[in-house]
Structure 1
Amino acid sequence: MVKDYLIVGQGLAGSFLSWNLLRRNKSIAIIDQDHENCSSLAAAGMINPITGKRLVLSQRCEELLPYAKEVYHELERLFNKKFFESKEIVRLFGSKQELYEWSRKRQQTHLKKYYGKKQKPGTYADSLNDQKGSFIIQQGGYCRKLDLLNCFTDYFKENNLLVSGKLVYDDLKIKDDLVEWKSNYYRCVVFCEGYQSQDNPWFSWLPFNHAKGEILTLSNKDSGLPDAVISCGKWCIPIGDGKYTAGSTYSWDKFDCKITEKAKEEILTEIGIFIKASFEVVDHMAGVRPIMKDLNPALGRHPEFSSLAIFNGLASKGLLWGPFYSNQMADYLIGIQSLEEKVSIDRFIKKHFKR
């Protein structure tokens, strides 16, 4: 029997893509090493429409954000579990330039639904050092990504779609328009490996620029913090029962999922600048964000082997980008839609692939 797709990796990218292919009545199998080295596990879960010191609206936010929310609501109905939590984001002003950027963007009618009201200095004096004031980012929130991944895992296992283990590249045998793997045949193998694609013999030529990140789970039932995400460089997300997720860090010197004391101290020190409460650290996680040098996702088929494809490069925006681009990737794989130029790996072929 020939199956349509073998999906390598069951993080956010692999899970979203697998789900989209199943919705199109395609036959699949998934192999995953029990989420080992999975960057999705160390993702914050935050969906923030506005990023950076220049308070820029996230790329294609007006299209991707409502799409992602609708997908999460659909998955909530499927799994009978709440995943997405709408939360205001209190963005503390760090400079006069940020205040200027807020004012300028707030005047644009189509952006007002994201750039909320300004709050005077001292609004949160009991819990925050907000001497420069703040404003409310609207339309954001966070996704309970561990619950989501666990539901996907259970669903795939219940339907006998998920194989636990690490794919050995040499076990793949490309035969005409099919790929053989352990005596099974697939029309296409799609690699959703995150940063591990840097070692993939068919896709290592892609210009990756991965970044390791670490997050903390903190506890303080008497923090006095507002029921909102707090953002000022680092961020702090209330996740219930007096617990918070805080982060994150970026490093490029070592790509592994080992936690470090240095990152822990960095997060605690920096959130301590704007949050008055102290916390107990109850968990600490690390992962490597799969990032391309041009900061766009990487989707497409191999230029020589059309039965091999990749879905990667969701960076720190897997929860915002994943639903939309996995849908586009699924349509591309079955031949009813082409990929956008800025996400297709064809943009790298001329410079990085010698045919």
Structure 2
Amino acid sequence: MTADYLIVGQGIAGSILAWTLTQRGHHVLILNDPTLPAASKVSGGIFNPLTGKKLSRTWKADDLFPFAHAFYADMQEQLGGDFLHDCDVYRPYRSIEEQNSYLAQTADPNIAKYVIDHTDDAKFSPFIENPYGGLQITQSGWVDCVQMLQKIEAYFVDKNQYLFERIDYKKIDIQEDGVGYGKCKVKKILFCEGYEARQNPFFNWLPFNPVKGQSLIAFMEDYSVPEIINQGAFVLPIDEKGTCRLGATYTWHDINWETTADGREYLEGKIKTFLKAPYTILEQQVGIRPSTKDRRPFVGIHPEYSALGIFNGLGTKGVSLAPYFANQFVKFLETGEEIDSEANIERIFSLYFRSK
């Protein structure tokens, strides 16, 4: 079996890279073990241009968000389904001081472009504590990652371009004109393994800083707010029946795939400070985000083996980052066009040579 590229891993990163390569006419194989836990399977998929307590503009927001919107809309049209959800983010102010601070920041044109001028605070009041009003952020929303991943899997399975197995690094045979993997011969193997990349002998020198995140799936009867609510924790409406995701925790210790009582208690404590509506917990989920120490992706080719590449380290903003940087990576593979220096793994090649 021959192909241009073998993609290892089919989370958000692998799916979007595989789709981008295919759309550009390349023959792609995906190798993935669906029995492995994956952060993409439990991701809220939120994209939001203004984040954090300080209302910081997401890195490269002016480039990322228009590109991501167009990308997911086109993918959805071609694959069918309904996984792209454009909706605003409503941030109720915690105090008059926070209100004044945020409103002062919206005088900056770079922030103002992502904010609604006049927010209808009254429509949120039956469900949300908002005595000081709130800020409404636009050009935001969420991607139903589970549905998107299912659509991508079905697409490549239908074309007999999907291998359901776990990567065996010992089977990689780097050759002068490409790379072999078992009975497959490809130009390059591109690793999109998320947290599992720490076990990859070719890329385990990269400075990952994994973050464990937990969220809750809840049911709220008669909850009719279509926007995402965010005030230290978020309420994301998943469907019109009242199913919501409540999230998320961020911890850098006890990195494992186990949910915890502490995580649930933390989330419920955060949520109750602003959510009036009663809810019932249906499920608790956990994921390990492949974040990096400098909070920038790992995109590029191995410093020694030109047949091996990586597309990883998208962290908590994978849905926002993946389309833009997959496009950059594919252009690099095709023509050598430069990858953004902050994302290119060349920025940390010294770590590889130091580890040898």
Both structures adopt the same fold (TM-score exceeding 0.5): yes
For the residue of structure 1 that corresponds to 2:339, the secondary structure is coil
Q: Return the offset for 1:139.
A: 1.5
1:80, distance to aligned residue in structure 2 (A): 2.3
Distance 2:101 2:313 in 1: 29
**Corresponding residue for residue 237 of structure 1:** 236
Q: Percent identity?
A: 30
Contact 2:41 2:145 in 1 (8 A): yes
CA distance in 2, matches of 1:150, 1:35: 14
Aligned length: 354
The residue matched to 1:274 in structure 2 has which SS?
A: coil
Q: Distance in 2 between matches of 1:15 and 1:127?
A: 36
How far apart in 2 are the matches of 1:97 and 1:303? 50
1:31 is aligned to 31
Q: Distance in 1 between matches of 2:353 and 2:283?
A: 42
1:209 to 1:169, Cα distance in 2 relative to 1, 3 A = same
- The Cα of 1:335 is off from its aligned counterpart by 2.8
Aligned CA distance change for structure 1 residues 54 and 159 (closer, same or farther; 3 Å)? same
123-132 or 288-297: which moved more? 123-132
Structure 2 CA distance for aligned equivalents of residues 298 and 117 of structure 1: 37
Q: Which amino acid aligns with 2:182?
A: K
Which residue pairs with 1:222 in the alignment? 222
**Equivalent residue number for residue 278 of structure 1:** 278
Distance 2:179 2:125 in 1: 62
Tell me how far apart the structure 2 counterparts of residues 125 and 338 of structure 1 sit (CA, whole Å): 49
1:13 is displaced (CA, Å) by 0.4
Q: Which residue of 2 aligns with 1:155?
A: 155
Alignment of 1:28-67 (within 5 A): 28-34=28-34, 36-67=36-67
Deviation at 1:99, TM superposition (A): 2.4
Q: Distance in 2 between matches of 1:23 and 1:125?
A: 45
* Offset, 1:96: 4.8
Task: Render the CA deviation track for 1:246-293: whole Å, top value 9, x for unaligned.
Answer: 100111223332222221222122101110122111222211111110
Q: Identify if the C-alpha distance between structure 1 residues 262 and 109 changes in structure 2 by more than 3 Å, giving closer, same or farther.
A: same
- Aligned partner of 2:6 in structure 1 is 6
User: 1:235 corresponds to which letter in structure 2?
Assistant: F
- Partner amino acid for 2:158? E
Deviation at 1:94, TM superposition (A): 2.7
Q: Confirm or deny that 1:253 pairs with 2:249.
A: no
Other-structure match for 1:182? 182
Alpha-carbon contact 2:9-2:192 (below 8 Å) kept: yes
Q: In the TM superposition, what is the alpha-carbon distance from 1:329 to its structure 2 partner?
A: 1.0
- TM-score norm. by structure 1 comes to 0.94
Structure 1 gap ranges (5+): none
The residue number in structure 1 matching 2:115 is 115
CA contact under 8 A between 2:42 and 2:287: conserved in structure 1?
A: yes
| 1:97–1:300 distance in 2 versus 1, CA, 3 Å | farther
RMSD: 1.9
Partner of 2:302: 302
What is the CA–CA distance in structure 2 between the aligned matches of 1:112 and 1:146, rounded to whole Å? 32
Range with greater deviation from structure 2 (119-128 or 176-185): 119-128
TM-score, with length taken from structure 2: 0.94
Shift in CA distance, 123/147, structure 1 to aligned 2, threshold 3 Å? closer
1:137-216 residue pairs with structure 2 within 5 A? 137-216=137-216
Unaligned runs of 5+ in 2: none
